[in-house]
Amino acid sequence: MDHFTYKNGELYAEELPLREIAAKVGTPFYCYSTATLERHYKVFSGAFDGVKALVCYALKANSNLAVIRTLAALGCGADVVSKGELRRALAAGVPPEKIVFSGVGKTADEMRAGLEAGIHQFNVESEPEVRLLSEVASAMGKTAVIAFRVNPDVDAKTHAKISTGKAENKFGVPWQDVSRIYGEAAKLPGIEIRGVDVHIGSQLTDLEPYRNAFNRVRELVLQLRAEGHDITRVDLGGGLGIPYDGTVPPDPAAYSLVALEAMGNLDVQLIFEPGRMIVGNAGVLVSEVLFVKQATKRKFIILDAAMNDLIRPAMYDGFHAIDPIREDQKTGPQGPADVVGPVCETGDTFARERDMPEAIAAGDLVAFRSAGAYGAVMASTYNTRPLVPEVLVKGDQYAVIRERPSLEELLKLDIMPPWLGS
């Protein structure tokens, strides 16, 4: 469920017409719904009521400070994968003891930042990483609390580019080597082993891969405890999908049953890292139609949004529902069209042969659904197109939470070498 609905003949964000925001902010722009963010967090966290659990929102899905603070105010923690994301989490008010630091390529500088902040734990992904973390922590006179991320060699049955739990993926340590790796890490100074971490991929719509991975993790926890390790935490990652294309993924209640079936009597703190599930359907990308072009064999709807604003269709063949702002166009006659952007790439195509309103014309507005995750965070300035604004709505109020930079500001990022003059 989200809070983008048709009222009075047009698409609203909570109590505000998107058309009115577009008139003031300009297009394209991202719009997020506070009510949807709050609802999704409460539904997910509520699925683990009565359980020792920590929900750490994965900032990589949407790292706007206002989005993070909205969730932090509800008690949410943060899963970060860079020093920059750590800074964002802290700046938005996430307590350091609710932050986990993931990522396959942490630098010594990032490790120091996490240790200085006093984060909950590092999710370590390799033997060289734990050795470097030991050196950094020892030099600082600190102890790094860690969980090794284990690669369970489980097929998540998702897109190849967002699958992370198979043996050929770069993430985690092989589950077959866990006993040796934990044993060697336990001897390192400045390292305190507390847990096991697993994350098998993103946009999962089937619970069976989770069941397989979680059962394997359960076996590892029991094995490690038998070998003398005090395992008190299990990080089960994230990855629960959202309904981009009509596919109905499992809800958090069903997901929690699978998790608790495997972990329920281990007496561990369970850590979860939802991202897309929290913010995906809490956002839309609003764009204006520039032209409708009838070619020899295809009809093209050309928008002012482009692949640099929303990369998922070009990068992952990702599906996004595209709704007209006017309800009469939504309910009126539909016909096939390609929905494209203005960038000089054939890949700048959002949809092919998609049923779209036959009456749509230049100046009309459309909204890309499910754009709250991996939209603005993956945007670029390709073709010297400024990043688009982000807007947060709460009831009948809205605020611009990231402005559109001017071309002058964009050009100032480049520095002319002295031999070329000013």
Together in a domain, 271 and 300: no
Domain final residue, candidates 236, 263, 278: 278
Asked if residue 313 belongs to a domain, the reply is: yes
Amino acid 172: pLDDT: 67
Asked if residue 417 belongs to a domain, the reply is: no
Together in a domain, 284 and 193: no
Asked if residue 203 belongs to a domain, the reply is: yes
Together in a domain, 238 and 366: no
Amino acid 171: pLDDT: 56
Query: Which CATH number fits the domain that encloses residue 339?
Result: 2.40.37.10
Say which of 31, 56, 76, 344 is annotated catalytic.
344
Amino acid 320: pLDDT: 96
Asked if residue 419 belongs to a domain, the reply is: no
- What DSSP letter does each residue of 274-313 carry, written as one string? --HHHHGGGEEEEEEEEEEEE-SS-EEEEES--TTT--HH
Together in a domain, 402 and 345: yes
Together in a domain, 314 and 254: no
| C-alpha to C-alpha distance for 45 and 75, rounded to whole angstroms | 10
| C-alpha to C-alpha distance for 235 and 217, rounded to whole angstroms | 10
Together in a domain, 342 and 377: yes
| C-alpha to C-alpha distance for 389 and 286, rounded to whole angstroms | 10
The pLDDT tens digits for 257-290 are 999 999 989 999 999 999 999 999 999 999 999 9
Together in a domain, 27 and 50: no
Domain that holds residue 232: 34-278
The pLDDT tens digits for 244-259 are 877 788 899 999 999 9
Q: What percent of the chain has pLDDT over 90?
A: 84
Amino acid 167: pLDDT: 43
Query: Which CATH number fits the domain that encloses residue 213?
Result: 3.20.20.10
Asked if residue 416 belongs to a domain, the reply is: no
Enumerate residues 6+ apart whose C-beta is below 8 A from 412: none
Check if the beta carbon of residue 133 is closer than 8 Å to that of residue 190: yes
Asked if residue 128 belongs to a domain, the reply is: yes
The pLDDT tens digits for 382-408 are 999 999 999 999 999 999 999 999 999
Together in a domain, 270 and 296: no
- Count of the separate structural domains present in the chain: 2
Amino acid 209: pLDDT: 86
Enumerate residues 6+ apart whose C-beta is below 8 A from 226: none
Asked if residue 420 belongs to a domain, the reply is: no
Domain final residue, candidates 240, 259, 278: 278
Amino acid 160: pLDDT: 44
Give the residue ranges of the chain where pLDDT is below 70.
154-172
Cα–Cα distances in angstroms (integers) from residue 422 to residues 14, 34, 385, 415, in the given order? 49, 45, 23, 9
Amino acid 154: pLDDT: 59
Check if the beta carbon of residue 374 is closer than 8 Å to that of residue 312: yes
**DSSP alpha helix (H) spans, 341-399:** none
**Which amino acid, residue 54?**
L
Domain final residue, candidates 278, 303, 318: 278
Together in a domain, 73 and 221: yes
What are the tokens at 83?
């020093």
**This model's pTM is above 0.85:** yes
Together in a domain, 251 and 383: no
127 CB burial (10 A radius; 0-12, 13-18, 19+): middle
Together in a domain, 20 and 39: no
Asked if residue 214 belongs to a domain, the reply is: yes
Amino acid 175: pLDDT: 78
Amino acid 422: pLDDT: 74
Together in a domain, 286 and 272: no
Amino acid 176: pLDDT: 84
Task: Give catalytic status of residue 344 as yes or no.
Answer: yes
| C-alpha to C-alpha distance for 337 and 292, rounded to whole angstroms | 9
